[in-house]
Amino acid sequence: MNEPVVSIVELGRHAGENVTLKGWVYHHRSKGKIVFLVLRDGSGLAQCVIVKGGVDDAAFAEAEKLPLESSIEVTGAVRLDPRAPGAPSSACGACEFTSARISTIRSNPRSTGRDSWWSTGICGFGAGSPGRA
Protein backbone atom coordinates (compact mmCIF):
# COMPACT_ATOMS: atom_id res chain seq x y z
CA MET A 1 0.00 0.00 0.00
CA ASN A 2 2.42 2.63 -1.21
CA GLU A 3 0.03 5.09 -2.81
CA PRO A 4 1.67 8.29 -4.03
CA VAL A 5 1.26 11.40 -1.88
CA VAL A 6 -0.22 14.12 -4.10
CA SER A 7 -1.38 17.68 -3.62
CA ILE A 8 -5.03 18.57 -4.13
CA VAL A 9 -4.33 20.51 -7.31
CA GLU A 10 -2.93 17.27 -8.83
CA LEU A 11 -6.03 15.14 -8.11
CA GLY A 12 -7.45 15.55 -11.62
CA ARG A 13 -4.48 13.70 -13.08
CA HIS A 14 -5.13 10.75 -10.74
CA ALA A 15 -8.84 10.06 -11.40
CA GLY A 16 -9.61 6.40 -10.71
CA GLU A 17 -6.35 5.86 -8.83
CA ASN A 18 -5.61 5.42 -5.13
CA VAL A 19 -3.55 8.25 -3.68
CA THR A 20 -2.72 9.78 -0.29
CA LEU A 21 -3.57 13.38 0.64
CA LYS A 22 -2.19 15.29 3.60
CA GLY A 23 -3.80 18.47 4.84
CA TRP A 24 -6.06 20.22 7.32
CA VAL A 25 -9.77 19.79 7.96
CA TYR A 26 -11.40 22.90 6.48
CA HIS A 27 -15.05 21.86 6.86
CA HIS A 28 -16.80 18.87 8.39
CA ARG A 29 -20.30 17.42 8.30
CA SER A 30 -21.76 14.06 9.14
CA LYS A 31 -24.86 12.44 7.68
CA GLY A 32 -25.36 9.21 9.62
CA LYS A 33 -23.23 6.60 7.86
CA ILE A 34 -21.26 9.14 5.78
CA VAL A 35 -18.78 11.80 6.90
CA PHE A 36 -17.85 14.60 4.50
CA LEU A 37 -14.53 16.29 5.21
CA VAL A 38 -13.30 19.18 3.12
CA LEU A 39 -9.54 18.93 3.23
CA ARG A 40 -7.22 21.80 2.36
CA ASP A 41 -3.57 21.94 1.56
CA GLY A 42 -1.48 24.72 0.05
CA SER A 43 -2.95 24.08 -3.41
CA GLY A 44 -6.72 23.95 -2.85
CA LEU A 45 -9.72 22.11 -1.40
CA ALA A 46 -11.00 18.55 -1.88
CA GLN A 47 -13.99 16.75 -0.45
CA CYS A 48 -13.19 13.47 1.27
CA VAL A 49 -16.07 11.04 1.70
CA ILE A 50 -15.74 8.54 4.53
CA VAL A 51 -18.37 5.80 4.51
CA LYS A 52 -19.06 3.62 7.54
CA GLY A 53 -17.92 0.14 6.62
CA GLY A 54 -15.37 1.57 4.16
CA VAL A 55 -12.95 2.26 7.03
CA ASP A 56 -12.61 0.53 10.39
CA ASP A 57 -15.06 1.58 13.12
CA ALA A 58 -12.43 3.45 15.17
CA ALA A 59 -11.33 5.53 12.16
CA PHE A 60 -14.97 6.34 11.31
CA ALA A 61 -15.70 7.42 14.90
CA GLU A 62 -12.59 9.61 14.86
CA ALA A 63 -13.59 11.17 11.52
CA GLU A 64 -16.99 12.10 12.98
CA LYS A 65 -15.32 14.06 15.80
CA LEU A 66 -12.35 15.68 14.04
CA PRO A 67 -12.07 19.35 14.99
CA LEU A 68 -11.47 21.95 12.29
CA GLU A 69 -7.82 22.53 11.38
CA SER A 70 -6.77 19.03 12.48
CA SER A 71 -3.89 17.68 10.39
CA ILE A 72 -4.88 14.42 8.72
CA GLU A 73 -3.71 11.95 6.12
CA VAL A 74 -6.26 10.13 3.97
CA THR A 75 -5.76 7.40 1.40
CA GLY A 76 -8.37 6.41 -1.12
CA ALA A 77 -9.71 6.61 -4.66
CA VAL A 78 -10.06 9.84 -6.65
CA ARG A 79 -13.36 10.33 -8.46
CA LEU A 80 -14.31 13.29 -10.64
CA ASP A 81 -17.51 14.89 -9.40
CA PRO A 82 -18.68 18.36 -10.50
CA ARG A 83 -20.84 18.68 -7.36
CA ALA A 84 -17.88 18.33 -4.99
CA PRO A 85 -16.04 21.41 -3.79
CA GLY A 86 -12.66 21.68 -5.48
CA ALA A 87 -9.81 24.00 -6.16
CA PRO A 88 -10.66 26.41 -8.99
CA SER A 89 -7.16 25.84 -10.38
CA SER A 90 -7.54 22.06 -10.21
CA ALA A 91 -7.22 20.21 -13.49
CA CYS A 92 -10.50 18.41 -12.78
CA GLY A 93 -12.46 21.44 -11.53
CA ALA A 94 -13.86 19.39 -8.66
CA CYS A 95 -12.84 15.99 -7.38
CA GLU A 96 -14.27 13.77 -4.72
CA PHE A 97 -11.97 11.58 -2.74
CA THR A 98 -13.42 8.36 -1.30
CA SER A 99 -11.33 7.38 1.69
CA ALA A 100 -10.20 3.88 2.47
CA ARG A 101 -7.84 4.91 5.29
CA ILE A 102 -7.69 7.94 7.52
CA SER A 103 -5.20 8.85 10.22
CA THR A 104 -4.86 11.92 12.37
CA ILE A 105 -1.44 13.51 12.37
CA ARG A 106 -2.40 16.15 14.94
CA SER A 107 -5.84 16.97 16.26
CA ASN A 108 -6.65 20.61 16.95
CA PRO A 109 -6.98 20.72 20.76
CA ARG A 110 -9.13 23.85 20.77
CA SER A 111 -12.60 24.25 19.38
CA THR A 112 -12.83 26.96 16.73
CA GLY A 113 -16.50 27.79 17.16
CA ARG A 114 -17.75 31.29 17.96
CA ASP A 115 -18.82 30.28 21.47
CA SER A 116 -15.34 29.07 22.42
CA TRP A 117 -13.75 32.33 21.24
CA TRP A 118 -16.32 34.35 23.16
CA SER A 119 -16.08 32.41 26.42
CA THR A 120 -12.27 32.39 26.51
CA GLY A 121 -11.98 36.10 25.85
CA ILE A 122 -9.63 35.57 22.92
CA CYS A 123 -11.68 37.96 20.83
CA GLY A 124 -11.35 40.66 23.49
CA PHE A 125 -15.02 40.80 24.44
CA GLY A 126 -15.90 37.55 26.23
CA ALA A 127 -16.20 36.67 29.88
CA GLY A 128 -12.49 35.87 30.09
CA SER A 129 -11.43 39.33 28.85
CA PRO A 130 -9.72 41.76 31.22
CA GLY A 131 -12.29 43.85 33.00
CA ARG A 132 -15.10 41.36 32.39
CA ALA A 133 -16.72 39.24 35.06
74: β partners: 21, 102
pTM of the model: 0.70
**Res 127: pLDDT:** 46
**Res 81: pLDDT:** 72
Q: CA 48, CA 32: separation in Å to the nearest integer?
A: 15
**48-64 tens-digit pLDDT:** 888 888 888 888 888 89
| Percent residues over pLDDT 90 in the chain | 11
**Res 91: pLDDT:** 43
Q: Please tell us whether the domain made up of 8-120 is placed in CATH 3.40.50.1370.
A: no
Distance, first Cα to last Cα, the chain: 55
Within 8 A by CB and 6+ apart from 129, the residues are 121, 123
Per domain, the residue ranges of the chain are: 8-120
Residue (of 25, 8, 24, 16) closest to 86 by Cα position: 8
Q: Residue 98 in contact with residue 54, Cβ under 8 Å?
A: yes
**77-120 tens-digit pLDDT:** 888 776 665 544 444 445 566 767 777 777 666 554 444 444 44
**Res 6: pLDDT:** 92
**Res 4: pLDDT:** 92
Question: Region 57-80: what's the mean pLDDT?
Answer: 88
**Res 59: pLDDT:** 86
